[in-house]
Chain A
Amino acid sequence: MSTESLLLSITMAVAAGLVGSFAVMRRMSLAADPLSHVALPGIGIALALHIHPVFGAVIALVFGALLVWVVEERGGATTESVIGVVFSAALAIGSIMTTGEDLIEALFGGAGALTWSEKIFGLLVATAIVLFVIVFRNSLVIMMVSPDIARTAGINVRWFDLLYLECFALTIALGLRYLGVLLMGALIIIPAATSKRLSHDLKSMLWFSVMLSVISTTVGSGIAVHLHREAGPIIVLVATALFLLSLIPRPAERRRIHG
C-alpha cells in the first residue's frame, strides 16, 4: 500500500470513529446499514453513464441522507419504515443495474489502485468530517440529550441534524473502495460500540472509537495483504474481534458493580 493510500485509509478510519461515536450514542446503529445501501444504485447509474462510480455513490448517499432528514421531521415509526423500504429497494435496484465484478466490488470493496482524484477528494472529505465532529461535538452532545434544550441553547437543531447525516453519508462514501456498500456501515458502528463499552466520558469515547477504528483498518489491511484477500471483510472481522474482547468484564468494572 502506498503512503498516500495508507494516509487516506487512516483519515477515513478517524472520520468513521468520530461519526460512529455519535451514531452509536444517538442510537442510529441500525440506520447505518440501510443508508449505505443507497450507494449501490448511484454506482450503477455512474457505471451506465461512464463516470467514476465513487462520484455516483457520493451523490446517491448525499440524497439518501437528505431523504432521511426530511422523513425524520415527521418522526416516529414512519422514519424506520421509510428507511427500511426505500433503502432496501435501493439495494434491489442497484443490484439489477450493477452486475458481475462491478457488483461484487461495490458490495464488498476491494479494487484496483485509487486514482489521484479519488485520493485528493477522499482526504479533503475525511478532513472536513473530522473537523466538523471535533468543532461541533458540544452541540452534538446537547442535541443528543435533548433537542429541546439544544434549541434553548441557541443551537439550530434541524441544520445540525442535516450536517451530521451528511457527514455520516460521506463517511460511508469514503469507505466504499475499501469495504464496500455492505461492510462500511460496520466500520462506522463496531469500533464506536466497542468504545462505548470502554468509556464513561465523552473524551474517552471519541479517543477509543478513533483508535479502535484505526487499529481495525490498519491491522485488517495488513492481514489482508498477508493472506492475499480483500481488505474489507478482514477489517470488519478485526473490529468485531476487538468488540468481543471488550465484552470481558474488567477489574475496574467489577469494582464499580460491587463498590
Chain B
Amino acid sequence: MMAAVPAENALEVNDLSVHFGVTQVLKDLSFGVAKGSALAIIGPNGAGKTVLLKTLIGSLPHSGSMHWAAGVRIGYVPQKLDLERDIPITGIDFLKARAAVAHKATFDMSSVLTLVGIPLDVAQRPIGTMSGGQFQRLLIAFALVADPNVLLLDEPTAGVDEPGQEQINELVRRLQKSQALTVLFISHELSVVYQYADNVLCLNNERAWFGPPSTILTPESLRQIYGGEVSYHIHEH
C-alpha cells in the first residue's frame, strides 16, 4: 500500500541504486519524505540501511535520483564512532568547531547543551571518555548547532542503556515537534518505530517496503522482511 502523497516533500528519491563493486547494496529505491514527518528505516543487518543514509548525505556514489528540497540543512548523527579514549578534543571543542565552520557569530553553547541534556562538566571532558549515551547526545547537539531542518540518525540508541535509550528517543521526538524537523532514523526497535514514525521504509536484501507503520509492521509482512518469526511489543504511553 502507498502512503498518502504529501503536499511538500523534504526529500524525493527515485530508483536509487548503490553498488560496491559487483555487489548491489540498494536497488531501485523510491520514496518521499514529507516535511516535518518522521521516517523510520528498518530491516535486517546488512540490508543497506546505513548505506542509504550515507548516500543521502552525499558520501557514496549512486545511480537514480535523490532530491532534497531547497533550503534543506542536514544534521547527521552517525552510528557509534570508533574514537580513541585519549583524543584531546572535548565536547566543547567539538561543538565550537561546528559553530565556527557554520560561521555562526553568536552561538549559545549552554542552551544547546541544555536542549540535549548534557551537563557542562561532561561537555568539558574529552569526547573519547564520554559514555555511549553522552556521546550520542553530543552528536545530536553537534547536528543541532547549525540549525538543521532535517535530522538523519543512524541507530541513535545503539550501545546505550535502556533509560538512556528512552531519553534519546524522547529528545528526538521533542525536537521534531518543537523545531518542526524532518527526521529519518534507522532503528531495530520496532516498538519505537511504531510509536514515532509516520512512515516506515523497510529494506531487506531482496526488496523494499514503504508505508505507514500500521501497514508495514504487521506480523505477516515482518515475516517476509526478516524471514522467520518476529515478535514485538508496543509500549503504551
A interface list, Cβ under 8 A from B: 25, 27, 137-139, 141-142, 144-149, 151-155, 195-197, 199-205
Q: Which of A138, A151, A196, A204 contacts B100 (CB 8 A)?
A: A138
A-B contacts, CB under 8 A, total: 81
- Of all chain B residues, the one with the shortest Cβ separation from A202 is B93
Q: Which of A138, A147, A152, A204 contacts B75 (CB 8 A)?
A: A152
* Min distance, Cβ B125 to any Cβ of chain A, angstroms: 8
Contacts of A197 in B (CB 8 A): 86
B interface list, Cβ under 8 A from A: 54, 57-59, 74-78, 81, 83-84, 86-90, 92-94, 96-98, 100-102, 124-127, 139, 142-143, 146, 152
* Listed A/B pairs (13) with beta-carbon separation below 8 Å: A25-B89, A138-B98, A141-B93, A141-B97, A144-B89, A148-B59, A151-B58, A152-B76, A196-B87, A200-B125, A202-B88, A202-B90, A204-B88
Inter-chain CA distance A28–B193, complex, in Å, is 40
Q: Which of A27, A148, A199, A202 contacts B54 (CB 8 A)?
A: A148
Inter-chain CA distance A83–B170, complex, in Å, is 47
Inter-chain CA distance A152–B97, complex, in Å, is 14
A201, B94: Cβ atoms closer than 8 Å: no
B57, A199: Cβ atoms closer than 8 Å: no
A148, B93: Cβ atoms closer than 8 Å: no
* Min distance, Cβ A27 to any Cβ of chain B, angstroms: 8
Contacts of A142 in B (CB 8 A): 94, 97-98, 101
Q: Which of A139, A151, A202 contacts B89 (CB 8 A)?
A: A202
Closest 10 A-B residue pairs measured CB to CB? Answer: A138-B97, A199-B88, A152-B76, A205-B88, A202-B93, A138-B100, A141-B97, A201-B90, A152-B74, A200-B126
A151, B93: Cβ atoms closer than 8 Å: no
B81, A145: Cβ atoms closer than 8 Å: yes
B57, A141: Cβ atoms closer than 8 Å: no
* Min distance, Cβ B109 to any Cβ of chain A, angstroms: 14
- Of all chain B residues, the one with the shortest Cβ separation from A136 is B101
Inter-chain CA distance A151–B92, complex, in Å, is 20
Main secondary structure of the interface of B (DSSP, over half): mixed
A147, B98: Cβ atoms closer than 8 Å: no
Contacts of A155 in B (CB 8 A): 101
B100, A145: Cβ atoms closer than 8 Å: no
Q: Which of A138, A148, A202 contacts B101 (CB 8 A)?
A: A138
B102, A201: Cβ atoms closer than 8 Å: no
Inter-chain CA distance A58–B167, complex, in Å, is 54
* Min distance, Cβ A105 to any Cβ of chain B, angstroms: 36
Contacts of B142 in A (CB 8 A): 149
* Min distance, Cβ B49 to any Cβ of chain A, angstroms: 14
Contacts of A203 in B (CB 8 A): 93
B87, A25: Cβ atoms closer than 8 Å: yes
- Of all chain B residues, the one with the shortest Cβ separation from A155 is B101
Inter-chain CA distance A201–B94, complex, in Å, is 10
* Min distance, Cβ A213 to any Cβ of chain B, angstroms: 16
* Min distance, Cβ B152 to any Cβ of chain A, angstroms: 8
Inter-chain CA distance A202–B100, complex, in Å, is 14
Q: Which of B57, B86, B89, B124 contacts A148 (CB 8 A)?
A: B57
Inter-chain CA distance A138–B101, complex, in Å, is 7
B96, A138: Cβ atoms closer than 8 Å: yes
Q: Which of B75, B84, B89 contacts A141 (CB 8 A)?
A: B89
In the complex where A202-B89, A205-B88 touch, is A149 in contact with B76 (Cβ < 8 A)? yes
Interface centre among B57, B77, B98, B101 (most CB of A within 10 A): B101
Inter-chain CA distance A154–B143, complex, in Å, is 12
Instruction: Supply 7 further A-B pairs (C-beta < 8 A) apart from A145-B89, A201-B93.
Output: A139-B101, A142-B101, A154-B101, A200-B90, A200-B125, A201-B90, A202-B90
